[in-house]
Amino acid sequence: MGRLFLFIVLLTLLVVIVFALTTLVARSMDVVQQMLRPADGQTKEGLMAPTPFQKITYAALLVLLFGVATGWLGGL
């Protein structure tokens, strides 16, 4: 009878510890998500929506970097 009581107490303690850890992790994730949100209330889509001009300039930058690194541009 004593072993059964000890087993029930240990199982209850394990459930309480798992519940406490789950709650702690969930609350910390909520805090982190709130800290990472923009302060002015903008969404992720509104912050940096790529425009065609941005895409073209990014491609030109990649070509320029490749040209300079290989010596194709820059005269080395």
Q: Is residue 29 part of a domain?
A: yes
0.85 surpassed by pTM = no
Angstrom distance (rounded) from CA 5 to CA 13: 12
Q: Is residue 1 part of a domain?
A: yes
Quick one: pLDDT at residue 74?
Answer: 64
Quick one: pLDDT at residue 66?
Answer: 86
Segment-wise mean pLDDT, segments of 10 residues, the chain, 76 residues: 88 94 90 75 59 85 86 66
Q: How many distinct structural domains can be found in the chain?
A: 1
Q: Is residue 15 part of a domain?
A: yes
3: containing domain: 1-36
DSSP string, 13-73: HHHHHHHHHHHHHHHHHHHHHHHHS-TT---HHHH-PPPHHHHHHHHHHHHHHHHHHHTSS
